């Protein structure tokens, strides 16, 4: 049996997960709300982190805001039929229901559904409850049921595709807030989750602040470049800024635009 | 060779398929129009039926109404090149064209395309004809061509993804109204097909009435729960209704809302 | 419902399927036993037939003889749980059991399992019965259980991979000897099935004789080429025989080797 | 090493690719802008061309205009880590950046990303630059990052799904304007690319004019048929026009509608 | 964080896992060694358990004995690059190394590799150590490296396919002996694992004894049937034994063969 | 069009590919013949190279020797039907035939078949010719036809699975000796290819010598460890050698065994 240890290394998880839940500062959260998953992916790539993007998940609503929050996780294994009758939901300790009531406000509930969308990971009632509780968003590498209603709720929600069957059909909720796989990415409780129209990315907790700072700056430069390109300028020498004129132009642009 | 028998068991199909075509009562149809595939999936799950959801099909239009009707089926096998020249459509007995002219009003045309969307299962002209004939909807586990026009027609239509090539390219229409596979679900002619934004589900013909009754009731309870949760109530004790107060509250809500 | 017609076109199948069962002459059978699926694939390709190879099936035993016979087919759809209890096998009319007792001696039983190997298409007892009845071989695009025992029986058998669960788990046997898909190839009852270490190929019934003749000749040439190449000759001008010396050398080789 | 030859056959590519870049006449371009990928697919099917559809690509924006242009290609191979650091973009000769600056106005940039959408093929800044330079559209069988911004730009763009990571993460840009695979279709530089809501299709350069002429006519007939069907006419005898009345009705329709 | 509880239900795992490790009696182990995964699959199917087969795993050696033992599990998540350098193996507490030294004699080490065979789950040195320690076998739904050496060792080992890269390349060992998914089957520590040439099946711990008894009897009947069929008897009435003569014949066979 | 440049960087390929063909020294070749793909994978992993393993390819024969040689590549794109008639083989410049006659002795022919095994990449006659010409081995991420004959030839050959259809059916040979993808690995002409029972790995040309040296040493240590483990020693402290006694024991073992 897995025994959590007091050792705060991410190898085994443990007490530090609790700790991380409080680590995301307001400053970092606010900065991340203004950057894109694409820009963060580049910043992580520069650090040798290539697989932090949760693959093949999509926002349910077309105009949902950027999602930012610490990961609170839940893990499913395949549903053994005798252990997953409709009655199990009567147990208030059922991990899925527990997760919905315990996921901290401001956090993101991330579900490991083994990329299996044949049954839903959750439906509109649970997602509505998460929203009421102030949770920042919800992600599964499987699917949601009541997908149109979830889209209308407005809370950022990401999945592979809609799926009508109840989770009990193919999923057995087994664990809350341990390390998981989600869309082929590793997710440790407390990692910072960012989601937008390109999907969802996982920022390791211990570098969230520096990634926020760096991508905030990168975003200013990208906005400058986008404006220049929209005015007809070539990308050569501009992006990346190998032409010595580019940094000068960028400095002028920042001054002019107050960024 | 497969020989249809008068035996009405679903094992072999047969005369009973014709019979079933008239079995869907107006009351059941109307009830099913007000429930969701998610709710029906749960009711089927309670009866041990786990694979009735047609996997990975999506509505072509964003706001199409709930689709309800008895299954009228068509089956494709891979297209042998010498048997699938453009001339085959000149045969008025070609199963695809025949299906389009014979699918009963109120029924749903369900096509087994072996989950292969490399060629279209049908296009806008045929779907428009189905609509004119009063057919309730159309489903393929492959793809439709002219997908934007089909979306504009307004008839409920579900597929995996758009696909431009004519069906002859990879599909050979071989049989009308026999038992088929569609999106990994079994579909018998006369089964009741329900479709909404979460996808499509297959209700065995002989339990359609009881499923309609049961899910109609379940939907009232879910609407009550959704309203409660939107007002901040916890799901514990509410969903499922293990708290004795919940049934009482629900009864009051029904009385108040006339449901 | 699909209605077989007396029309002998492969569009609908029908009486002609019975007829075809007697069409494979001893001469053609014997010729095909000496050629390879690769050579037949090339002969079919020359006629515009590109998809006759049953994809991704493998022989169970390493040294089984070349399999030749007319296709006798069976089709599975996904197993609805209420229709596939263990008791269904007590029905002597169950299509799987019926197929095993009715597949003609010299024919090949080809099963459409929708490429789904999660449950077996059959096991050693049924395959042993087929062997006892003189059936020429058995093919599924799913899997067999008791795979080691089947390999020991010696009858040519081809599948995707071993699979322990009974067919009832995921497959519902629905039809005998209609047109099917198998491994993305179209199979009509009476088509001639050829299997060797490269897999299985489907020869349309009406060209089986000419394919046998042509590939018998092609095989002589390929044996000549293989011998030449093994002696160090370049393939340029030899294969294909664009060098005028090649036909002369081949004629000499045939004379010398009596072929 | 691959050596381009002056031989203008499509087997090896070469100088003729340059030549083709000027072959798409304004008349053909304009005709193709009024037809659909579905109609073109049928015209290609009649000529034995079955795999010209780029499979599983979707428009980023819902209302983008029909895309027409000659193919200008780029090829990715998997990204070896030591050769794909962030610094490689500082090289103005990097094939991705070069392609963006060299793709001719009116052409379509088609990228072979090996159907791998785990990393982006390009992002909004590069696509904006392509738009500024008058490029007709952009296609990848992988994914784009900044997908929402690309959708807002309005230039026709097609991909499998959004993907946040920079191309360097999994893709190494290796070659410009050679023959490629894209979505399981062969694409030669200079082939004519057509894209609409059903996806993207590749018209071999040497038949682009005749395909444009033929599909322009086919489209008139299909519009006639669609109108008739919308008015309640059966497809039998109408589509295809096996009823002798149909050609007469079509002639009258053309006269009346000036087509 | 997941907190094991003293509650012995399989919902959350816990102390009972330890307990189960001692539950497999010698009698049950010995009976299971004489039955097949196919027979056990049928016995589980009769109890409504359809997904206990670990899909798509194969024995490494052709003649390895039947594998029987309690599950001792290990779980991998995707390997974050900064946490999976070659140095992590220097930590004696690394879960993969720990599992190899702690898996009890007579147990089977079952690894959840998320069906990802791009990197190895383990290699010959670790498997040799397991063998030395008396472990009954090893299973991964990914792949093993040094596969030829593992095959020569003789210990039952099952995987999807060989894979050369070290596990650190794509897998991060995260947990020992918790509930896992393996090849789409649920595996709880202490479940009884059976493996033969058809693959691997998971018997829930609490029914292992009755399954062993039942399948031991079923095996006698199947051996009787196999012998009868090999002598030319029809399966109708024999398998299943619906003919009243069959039970009588079986009784005689048992008496004669001492079974 | 891709233009090879004199610049020897692997970004664009070019003249240096010729050069590399002569770079593999006899010493390095001989060392690599004694090491495993697993050991090389670990050495590459230490350098940050994670994707050099050609995924999902298997040796055709069970006992073929370790394959070592420089990569000589060929690339297929999907086969456009009009360009891939049986007559194209009459052209002596057809890339597949040319590759077979030009691949240098001692090199390995590596084919990019886009992981598509629906048609063969080559057959026994061409592989026999390669063997006659002294080529060291042949690899495709698709399949070979005549697979049993290729296995009997004895030349190392690796593929995904057997496939009967001629390459023209789905593959168009387009280029010789450019950079390719093979089984999701990047392969540059001149890279050193190593193959054994675990599959095939690609060693970048410029580090082949150091990888050979390093893995030759690693293999000695692994052989020592394997022997120790087979004698009952724990892996803790031994593998990796964190126990100070281990290096001492290894030194003694080397002295005793002359390694």
Of residues E1 and C164, more confidence is placed in C164
Reported ipTM: 0.92
Instruction: Take residue F136 and report the two structure tokens written for it.
Output: 């060291």
Q: Measured between beta carbons, which residues in chain B are less than 8 angstroms from residue C51? A: 78-81
Nearest to D184 by CA among D95, D76, D9, D57: D57
What is the rounded radius of gyration, in angstroms, for the C-alpha atoms of chain D?
20
The kind and range of the H/E element at E213 are helix E208-230
Give F198→chain E minimum CA distance, Å: 5
Can you list the residues of chain B whose pLDDT is less than 50? Answer: 1-20
| Strand pairing category for C67-78 and C171-176 | antiparallel
| Average pLDDT rounded to a whole number, residues A13-32 | 69
pTM strictly above 0.90: yes
pLDDT of E7 higher than 80? no
pLDDT of E16 higher than 60? no
Query: What is the torsion angle, in degrees rounded to the nearest 10, for the CA atoms of residue E64, residue E66, residue E69 and residue E72?
Result: 40
DSSP state letters, F186-202 = EE-TT-EEEEETTEEEE
Q: Measured between CB atoms, which of D49, D78, D94 is closest to F51?
A: D78
CB atoms within 10 A of CB C94: 17
Q: How confident is the model at residue D227 (pLDDT cuts 50, 70, 90)?
A: very high
Rounded to an integer, what distance in angstroms lies between the CA atom of residue B239 and that of residue A128? Answer: 13
Give B240→chain A minimum CA distance, Å: 6
Q: Measured between beta carbons, which residues in chain B are less than 8 angstroms from residue A99? A: none
Touching F (3+ Cβ pairs <8 A), the chains are C, D, E
pLDDT of the residue at D138 = 98
pLDDT of C32 higher than 90? yes
Rounded to an integer, what distance in angstroms lies between the CA atom of residue F113 and that of residue F167? Answer: 9
pLDDT of F16 higher than 80? no
Tens-digit pLDDT profile for residues C134-146: 999 999 999 999 9
DSSP state letters, C124-165 = HHHHHHHHHTT--EEEESSEESSHHHHHHH-S-EEESS---S
pLDDT of the residue at C94 = 94
How far is residue D72 CA from its own chain's centroid?
Answer: 10
Tens-digit pLDDT profile for residues D53-98: 999 999 998 889 999 999 999 999 999 999 999 999 999 999 999 9
pLDDT of the residue at D22 = 56
Q: Measured between beta carbons, which residues in chain D are less than 8 angstroms from residue B118? A: 53, 55, 184
Of residues A104 and B63, more confidence is placed in A104
Rounded to an integer, what distance in angstroms lies between the CA atom of residue B50 and that of residue B59? Answer: 22
| Average pLDDT rounded to a whole number, residues A179-188 | 98
pLDDT of the residue at F62 = 84
Q: How confident is the model at residue E62 (pLDDT cuts 50, 70, 90)?
A: confident
State the alpha helices, DSSP H only, in D76-194: 95-102, 124-132, 147-153
Q: How confident is the model at residue A20 (pLDDT cuts 50, 70, 90)?
A: very low
Rounded to an integer, what distance in angstroms lies between the CA atom of residue D184 and that of residue D175? Answer: 18
Tens-digit pLDDT profile for residues C59-118: 998 889 999 999 999 999 999 999 999 999 999 999 999 999 999 999 999 999 999 999
Q: Which residue of E has its CA nearest to C102?
A: E234
Of residues F2 and E105, more confidence is placed in E105
Q: Taking CB atoms and an 8 Å limit, are C179 and B174 in contact across chains? A: yes
Helix (H, G, I), strand (E, B) or coil at C1: coil
Give F199→chain C minimum CA distance, Å: 19
Q: Which residue of E has its CA nearest to A18?
A: E1
- Secondary structure E strands in E18-130: 53-54, 58-59, 67-78, 108-112, 120-122
| Sequence-distant (≥ 6) Cβ neighbours of residue B118 within 8 angstroms | B142, B163, B165, B169, B170, D53, D55, D184
Q: Which residue of B has its CA nearest to A122?
A: B38
pLDDT of F165 higher than 60? yes
| Average pLDDT rounded to a whole number, residues E103-119 | 98
pLDDT of the residue at C203 = 98
pLDDT of the residue at F22 = 56
Q: Measured between beta carbons, which residues in chain C are less than 8 angstroms from residue B93? A: 11
Q: How confident is the model at residue C2 (pLDDT cuts 50, 70, 90)?
A: very low
Cis peptide before E28 (omega within 30 of 0): no
Touching A (3+ Cβ pairs <8 A), the chains are B, D, E
pLDDT of the residue at D10 = 41
Q: Taking CB atoms and an 8 Å limit, are A230 and D163 in contact across chains? A: no
Q: Measured between CB atoms, which of B36, B56, B235 is closest to A146?
A: B36
pLDDT of the residue at E23 = 80
Annotated binding-site members of F for Mg(2+): 146
Q: Taking CB atoms and an 8 Å limit, are C11 and B83 in contact across chains? A: yes
Give A123→chain E minimum CA distance, Å: 21
Q: Measured between beta carbons, which residues in chain B are less than 8 angstroms from residue A117? A: 55-56
Rounded to an integer, what distance in angstroms lies between the CA atom of residue B219 and that of residue B35? Answer: 6
Give D165→chain A minimum CA distance, Å: 5
Best F112, F181, F184 member to test D by mutation, with max D CBs in 10 Å, is F181
Q: How confident is the model at residue F23 (pLDDT cuts 50, 70, 90)?
A: confident
Give B80→chain A minimum CA distance, Å: 32
pLDDT of the residue at E101 = 97
Q: Which residue of F has its CA nearest to D73?
A: F1
Q: Spell out the domains of chain C, with CATH numbers in brackets.
A: 15-205 (3.50.30.40), 211-257 (no CATH)
Q: Are D210 and D218 in contact (CB under 8 A)?
A: no
pLDDT of the residue at A23 = 79
Q: Taking CB atoms and an 8 Å limit, are B178 and C175 in contact across chains? A: yes
F9: DSSP letter: S
Tens-digit pLDDT profile for residues D117-176: 999 999 999 999 999 999 999 999 999 999 999 999 999 999 999 999 999 999 999 999
Nearest to F100 by CA among F39, F45, F167: F167
Is A169 exposed, middle or buried (CB count within 10 Å of its CB: 0-12, 13-18, 19+)? Answer: buried
Q: Taking CB atoms and an 8 Å limit, are D90 and A240 in contact across chains? A: yes
Residue D187 has φ and ψ, to the nearest 5°, of -130, 120
| Average pLDDT rounded to a whole number, residues C116-133 | 98
Q: What angle do CA B132, B115, C108 make, to 5 degrees?
A: 115
Q: Measured between beta carbons, which residues in chain D are less than 8 angstroms from residue B145? A: 36-38, 41, 198
What per-residue string of b and e applies to F163-178 under the rule 16 or more CB within 10 Å gives b? bbbbbbbbbbbbbbbb
Annotated binding-site members of F: 123-126, 145-146
Q: Measured between beta carbons, which residues in chain E are less than 8 angstroms from residue A2? A: 2, 4, 175-178
pLDDT of the residue at F21 = 53
Give B112→chain A minimum CA distance, Å: 18
Best B17, B19, B21, B80 member to test C by mutation, with max C CBs in 10 Å, is B80
pLDDT of the residue at F12 = 40
Of residues A48 and A12, more confidence is placed in A48
Helix (H, G, I), strand (E, B) or coil at A18: helix
Q: Taking CB atoms and an 8 Å limit, are A129 and B53 in contact across chains? A: no
Q: Which residue of E has its CA nearest to A186?
A: E78
Q: Which residue of B has its CA nearest to A164?
A: B38
pLDDT of the residue at D23 = 80
Q: Which residues of B touch A (CB under 8 A)?
A: 36-38, 40-42, 45-46, 50, 53, 55-56, 58, 196-199, 201, 222, 225-226, 229-230, 232, 234-237, 239-240, 242
Q: Are F147 and F154 in contact (CB under 8 A)?
A: no
Touching C (3+ Cβ pairs <8 A), the chains are B, E, F
Q: Taking CB atoms and an 8 Å limit, are A42 and D117 in contact across chains? A: no
pLDDT of the residue at B209 = 98
């Amino acid at each position: 049996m897995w025994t959590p240890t007091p050792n705060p290394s991410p190898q085994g998880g443990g007490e530090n997960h609790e700790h991380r839940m409080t680590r995301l500062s307001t400053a970092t959260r606010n900065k991340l709300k203004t950057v894109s998953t694409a820009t963060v992916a580049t910043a992580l790539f520069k650090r040798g982190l290539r697989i932090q993007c949760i693959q093949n998940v999509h926002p349910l609503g077309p105009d949902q805001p950027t999602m930012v929050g610490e990961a609170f996780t839940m893990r499913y294994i395949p549903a053994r039929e005798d252990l997953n009758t409709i009655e199990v939901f009567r147990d208030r300790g059922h991990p899925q229901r527990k997760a919905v009531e315990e996921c901290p406000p401001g956090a993101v509930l991330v579900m490991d559904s083994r990329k299996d969308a044949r049954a839903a990971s959750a439906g509109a009632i649970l997602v509505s409850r998460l929203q009421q509780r102030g949770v920042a968003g919800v992600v599964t590498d499987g699917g949601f049921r009541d997908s149109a209603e979830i889209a209308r709720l407005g809370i950022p929600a990401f999945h592979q595709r809609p799926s009508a069957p109840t989770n009990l059909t193919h999923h057995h909720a087994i664990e809350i807030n341990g390390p998981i796989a989600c869309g082929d990415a590793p997710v440790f409780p407390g990692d910072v989750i960012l989601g937008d129209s390109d999907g969802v990315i996982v920022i390791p907790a211990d570098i969230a602040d520096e990634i926020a700072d760096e991508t905030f700056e990168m975003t200013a430069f990208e906005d400058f470049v986008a404006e220049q390109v929209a005015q007809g300028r070539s990308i050569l020498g501009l992006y990346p800024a190998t032409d010595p004129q580019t940094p000068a132009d960028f400095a002028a642009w920042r001054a002019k635009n107050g960024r």
